[in-house]
Amino acid sequence: MTDTLDPALVPELLVTDLDRSLRFWCDLFGFDIRYSRPAERFAYIALGSAHLMLEQIGVGRNWVTGALEAPLGRGINFQITVPDAGALAEALNRADVELFLEPETRWYRVGDEDAGVRQFLVQDPDGYLVRFQSSVGRRPASP
């Protein structure tokens, strides 16, 4: 039987320097290392129900379908829900981390309602785009 707390989808990101990526994800955002395989330069990290695998390029078995050119992850962004995206963005600003998109509040249509989020985007050291967001509530859909 599958543990219902484990997500059904866990992206695995190839990274150029596992230690640098762990500092970014764990030290800045609070992810915890659930387990790692140091000889393979691999780590499984989680923040609440947001889970990621990080694997260093060129060590172990990498599944690569094309050339790996910086920035990695072009065409995708990973949305991660946090309790307070605004406070997290302020902490990153204090740490001199450049944001890809400054904090904003946006409303998105969801059925017959609009769902509001406070969000910002940041790139990890390899260029993967991460969107941290917090709910600001729902309202009837605007025309």
Position 109 confidence tier, pLDDT thresholds 50, 70, 90:
very high
- The pLDDT tens digits of the residues spanning 5-56 come to 688 899 999 999 999 999 999 999 999 999 999 999 999 999 999 999 999 9
Position 4 confidence tier, pLDDT thresholds 50, 70, 90:
low
CATH no. of 76-138? 3.10.180.10
Pinpoint the residues of the chain covered by CATH 3.10.180.10: 1-61, 76-138
Spatial CA neighbour of 80 closest among 104, 47, 108, 45: 47
- The pair phi, psi for residue 34, each rounded to 5°, is -75, -40
The pTM is what? 0.87
1-61 CATH fold: 2,3-Dihydroxybiphenyl 1,2-Dioxygenase; domain 1 (3.10.180)
CA angle 42, 123, 88 (to 5 degrees): 100
In whole numbers, what is the pLDDT of the chain averaged over residues?
Answer: 91
